[in-house]
A and B are shown apart, each in its own frame.
Chain A
């Protein structure tokens, strides 16, 4: 027992193992752990809020309010000249027909002012819908038939419950007449919601009810096509050279540092490069998927190179040595053995890079892909826009109806991204090899 008293005398500091201190330390431990949980929950919660806000704002855009009109088009009224052939009918104007049908629904609206207002009740696309029906079936001409046409976006918003009826009229942004007319039609069962096909088959429009994403989706595909065509071969060649052939010297070091830095350069700088060099210096057509694709491929190159290199590095040296041992040249070794084995990894990286490029907006604003495009682009030199830019354009529009359009376009964009990333994950799972 003497030894214990000795150490006590030497007053060595011993850990305080008292229960109180231990409790404190364990409490600190639990607190620390709780911070971690809170952080993770915050991050995941933010993701949930983000997705929920997009979905809740946007899901209604997949439905579109339509109203039933009873139209009676006559050759005289639509200004048809000659036989009712599709070509001749294409030249006609069905607006008066639509307006007459509309006035017939509200016989008590006779005032010129109110009638002008009533015209705004249907979408500008209504006349086209009726015309298309007549073109499909010319025998309808001169007869009376029912047709469902789109209403104006304001009515659409009202139908979907985005207009607060309790607000005083001057803050409601919707004419009281419109509400009365809408309710009257709703009572008659002449207003209903339909699946909004024109959102997928239509192009951009100033009228929210006619706006669709077809042209921007096609633009996105063309741009991605150019990006893939340029970046994939270049990235694979560069990765193979740096990983398999390059001697260790100043130049390859510089290239390496450069690639890593380029991966972290702000995307908008690539847009400036595209504007200054590709458009102004080389004279490539502005706003075209060609220029957008070049800019995006410069941007995604580092991503693909980096992932391709790690895929190449994962192939064990024994494979190379075996090939070289039986007399293959170095290039044969790479093309016959190393590349095929690392291809799944390279493709995974490429898909992830493409997904990044698909969601990119800022550099494309710089090269002018921010124009108002109504026609669907047919080639890589046509002026076009892309999905994320379309989202940006719609988000700056003041109409309430564009909020749901924007959210819906975002959902489509996210669906593409999820599909691409899921493919990448599946590819990795299916072909991943542990050596």
Chain B
């Protein structure tokens, strides 16, 4: 039984149980629904819950344990000698068996034992899943029968149905928390394993980044260097360039649009800026690599400077363009929140419009603007595609914007795409970088959101 058949049957069963519940409610009320505690449709919903919940929970439970069950079944078929292999080699063997089971070619001799294991692995997905799904449907039918007996005129169906709905809503609203916990735990778990191999101070304060580790332990190769300082400085350099572009342009656009622009211009320019925000970052990356980087190389190269083809300046400038609408719309918001009375007061004293903005509106809006800039910085630090495509991979420890630098996000991408062995310091390093990134941006966001919110309350 496959999943789509299961889902279709389940939907049919639910519709049927809803209909049965309503019919039953009519029957027990003797044809007079007025005697019922709730509207008949609630009895339908009540029975549908009885029918749906147990079956769906059972099916969901099966899908959670399915991979583990399949692995266990696979292990059972292996010879005892194979099971005594060292854990790492056993893990490799199991991965190969899984690949074989999925129909891919593997780089080892396919023995009958391995074939047997792959078959056992596939059986779990075929028969095991069918059995579980059939069991789930049977449970639904049983639930239908049991629930039907509870339907009486004094059953408080509405309250029960609504309680279930409320619980579902609460669960849905905690998903945000679960996501955060999931992020923190998963990153922390892998990062701790990384710091078990590379001391944390080497990572935070080391000056060379060269994540090439030996694949086999007996291999003669350079011990990888995991000093992340070049990545941090690279990220900071690009962020600084991006801010140097985005803050003045964004801020002055916001000032012009909120205080000077006639309505018509404001109405047409604002959506244009929003378009800038809606362009996918991969497009900016392509733009940076294809158009901006050669332009910068030709312009500054013509002046006698040495500019590498992938420069921090190109990536940073394009990232700045991307962030302009972010800065401008947030600052526009906070400047609009400054009460008109403050402006009127300044005008009454004879101040010109620009003096009012510089000496009254801007200082009043400053906390909010700082918050907006902090949010923009966090955005720039976490931005990935532009730097992946335009900033390069060389971990140079430099402040020269014409050289190629690399950033935290670029390294995460390069460490985790392509062929990866999932236990090496190389892949784990990506998670260490990830948690650093998460911690920094989280801190920036918390502070910024706090400032923005506090500021908004001040004038409300």
Binding site for B on A (CB under 8 A): 15, 25-26, 28-29, 31-33, 35-40, 42-44, 46-47, 49-50, 53-54, 57, 233-235, 237-238, 240-242, 245-246, 254-255, 257-262, 264-270, 272-273, 275-277, 280-283, 298, 301-302, 305, 329-331, 355-356, 358-362, 365-366, 368, 370, 388-389, 391-392, 395-396, 403, 406-407, 410, 413-414, 417, 421
Q: Within the complex, which residue of A26, A43, A257, A276 is in contact with B352, where a contact is CB–CB below 8 Å? A: A26
Q: What are 20 A-B contacts defined by CB distance under 8 Å?
A: A26-B352, A29-B355, A36-B255, A37-B256, A43-B273, A44-B269, A46-B324, A233-B172, A241-B169, A261-B442, A261-B446, A266-B438, A268-B434, A269-B437, A366-B417, A391-B283, A396-B389, A407-B286, A413-B283, A417-B279
Complex CA distance for A276 and B183, rounded to whole angstroms: 9
B186 contacts A276, C-beta separation under 8 Å: yes
Complex CA distance for A391 and B375, rounded to whole angstroms: 28
Complex CA distance for A313 and B287, rounded to whole angstroms: 40
Q: Within the complex, which residue of A39, A275, A283, A358 is in contact with B256, where a contact is CB–CB below 8 Å? A: A39
Interface membership of B175, Cβ < 8 A: yes
Most chain B CB within 10 A, of A260, A275, A281, is at: A275
Q: Known contacts A43-B273, A265-B438, A301-B176; decide if A238 and B280 are in contact (CB<8 Å).
A: no
- CB-contacts of B114-137 with A (<8 A): none
A282 contacts B64, C-beta separation under 8 Å: yes
Interface membership of B383, Cβ < 8 A: yes
Interface membership of B290, Cβ < 8 A: yes
The 7 closest A-B pairs by CB, nearest first: A266-B382, A36-B256, A359-B280, A283-B67, A39-B252, A237-B172, A32-B354
Minimum C-beta distance from A93 to chain B (A): 25
A43 contacts B328, C-beta separation under 8 Å: yes
Chain B residue numbers with a CB within 8 Å of A366 are: 412-413, 416-417
- Compute the total of residue contacts between A and B using a CB distance below 8 Å: 263
Q: Known contacts A266-B437, A421-B278; decide if A331 and B162 are in contact (CB<8 Å).
A: yes
A266 contacts B422, C-beta separation under 8 Å: no
Chain B residue numbers with a CB within 8 Å of A389 are: 282
Minimum C-beta distance from B7 to chain A (A): 12
Q: Known contacts A29-B354, A276-B186; decide if A40 and B253 are in contact (CB<8 Å).
A: yes
Complex CA distance for A275 and B385, rounded to whole angstroms: 18
By beta carbon, the residue of chain A nearest B287 is A50
Interface of A is mostly: helix
Complex CA distance for A196 and B190, rounded to whole angstroms: 47
Interface membership of B321, Cβ < 8 A: yes
Interface membership of B111, Cβ < 8 A: no
Q: Known contacts A39-B248, A268-B382; decide if A238 and B172 are in contact (CB<8 Å).
A: yes
B289 contacts A272, C-beta separation under 8 Å: no
Interface membership of B311, Cβ < 8 A: no
By beta carbon, the residue of chain B nearest A273 is B183
Complex CA distance for A356 and B173, rounded to whole angstroms: 21
Q: Within the complex, which residue of A40, A283, A403 is in contact with B290, where a contact is CB–CB below 8 Å? A: A403
Complex CA distance for A66 and B225, rounded to whole angstroms: 52
Q: Within the complex, which residue of B176, B290, B430 is in contact with A272, where a contact is CB–CB below 8 Å? A: B430
Interface of B is mostly: helix
Chain A residue numbers with a CB within 8 Å of B67 are: 282-283
Chain A residue numbers with a CB within 8 Å of B276 are: 43, 46-47
A272 contacts B186, C-beta separation under 8 Å: yes
Q: Known contacts A36-B252, A47-B272; decide if A15 and B350 are in contact (CB<8 Å).
A: yes
- CB-contacts of B421-460 with A (<8 A): 422, 430-431, 434, 437-438, 441-442, 445-446, 449
Chain A residue numbers with a CB within 8 Å of B174 are: 255
A269 contacts B283, C-beta separation under 8 Å: no
Minimum C-beta distance from B194 to chain A (A): 12
Chain B residue numbers with a CB within 8 Å of A26 are: 352
Chain B residue numbers with a CB within 8 Å of A54 are: 283, 286-287
Interface membership of B242, Cβ < 8 A: no
Interface membership of B341, Cβ < 8 A: no
Minimum C-beta distance from B447 to chain A (A): 11
Chain A residue numbers with a CB within 8 Å of B183 are: 265, 269-270, 272-273
Contact-size category for B: 35 or more
Chain A residue numbers with a CB within 8 Å of B186 are: 272-273, 276-277, 281
Q: Within the complex, which residue of B260, B280, B431 is in contact with A361, where a contact is CB–CB below 8 Å? A: B280
Complex CA distance for A344 and B380, rounded to whole angstroms: 32
Q: Within the complex, which residue of A47, A257, A276, A281 is in contact with B431, where a contact is CB–CB below 8 Å? A: A276
Complex CA distance for A143 and B378, rounded to whole angstroms: 68
B422 contacts A280, C-beta separation under 8 Å: yes
B357 contacts A406, C-beta separation under 8 Å: no
Other A-B contacts than A245-B166, A257-B449, A266-B382, 13 sampled, CB-CB below 8 A, are A36-B252, A44-B272, A53-B290, A246-B173, A266-B378, A269-B437, A273-B179, A275-B416, A280-B422, A330-B162, A331-B165, A392-B389, A421-B278
Chain B residue numbers with a CB within 8 Å of A28 are: 352, 354-355
B279 contacts A50, C-beta separation under 8 Å: yes
B434 contacts A269, C-beta separation under 8 Å: yes
A276 contacts B187, C-beta separation under 8 Å: yes
Chain A residue numbers with a CB within 8 Å of B37 are: none
Complex CA distance for A363 and B339, rounded to whole angstroms: 41
Chain B residue numbers with a CB within 8 Å of A261 are: 180, 442, 445-446, 449
Most chain B CB within 10 A, of A26, A265, A403, is at: A265
By beta carbon, the residue of chain A nearest B375 is A264
Q: Known contacts A262-B180, A272-B186, A359-B280; decide if A38 and B252 are in contact (CB<8 Å).
A: yes
Q: Within the complex, which residue of B165, B280, B350, B412 is in contact with A388, where a contact is CB–CB below 8 Å? A: B280
B180 contacts A241, C-beta separation under 8 Å: no
Minimum C-beta distance from B65 to chain A (A): 10
Chain A residue numbers with a CB within 8 Å of B234 are: none
By beta carbon, the residue of chain B nearest A268 is B384
Q: Within the complex, which residue of A238, A277, A370 is in contact with B176, where a contact is CB–CB below 8 Å? A: A238
Q: Known contacts A266-B437, A272-B186; decide if A43 and B282 are in contact (CB<8 Å).
A: no
Chain A residue numbers with a CB within 8 Å of B385 are: 361-362, 392
By beta carbon, the residue of chain B nearest A380 is B3
Minimum C-beta distance from B414 to chain A (A): 10
Complex CA distance for A63 and B77, rounded to whole angstroms: 57
B256 contacts A40, C-beta separation under 8 Å: yes
Q: Mark B354-368, 1 if CB is under 8 A from A, else 0.
A: 110110000000000
B173 contacts A36, C-beta separation under 8 Å: no
Interface membership of B291, Cβ < 8 A: yes
B256 contacts A298, C-beta separation under 8 Å: no
Complex CA distance for A272 and B408, rounded to whole angstroms: 13
B176 contacts A29, C-beta separation under 8 Å: no
A35 contacts B283, C-beta separation under 8 Å: no
Interface membership of B353, Cβ < 8 A: yes
A40 contacts B257, C-beta separation under 8 Å: yes
By beta carbon, the residue of chain A nearest B324 is A43
- CB-contacts of B238-289 with A (<8 A): 248-253, 255-257, 260-261, 269, 272-273, 275-276, 278-287, 289
Minimum C-beta distance from A232 to chain B (A): 11
Complex CA distance for A421 and B278, rounded to whole angstroms: 9
Chain A residue numbers with a CB within 8 Å of B416 are: 272, 275, 365-366
Q: Within the complex, which residue of A35, A49, A267, A330 is in contact with B384, where a contact is CB–CB below 8 Å? A: A267
- CB-contacts of B193-252 with A (<8 A): 248-252
Interface membership of B379, Cβ < 8 A: yes
A268 contacts B280, C-beta separation under 8 Å: no
B358 contacts A32, C-beta separation under 8 Å: yes
Minimum C-beta distance from B386 to chain A (A): 10
Complex CA distance for A96 and B297, rounded to whole angstroms: 47
Interface membership of B170, Cβ < 8 A: yes
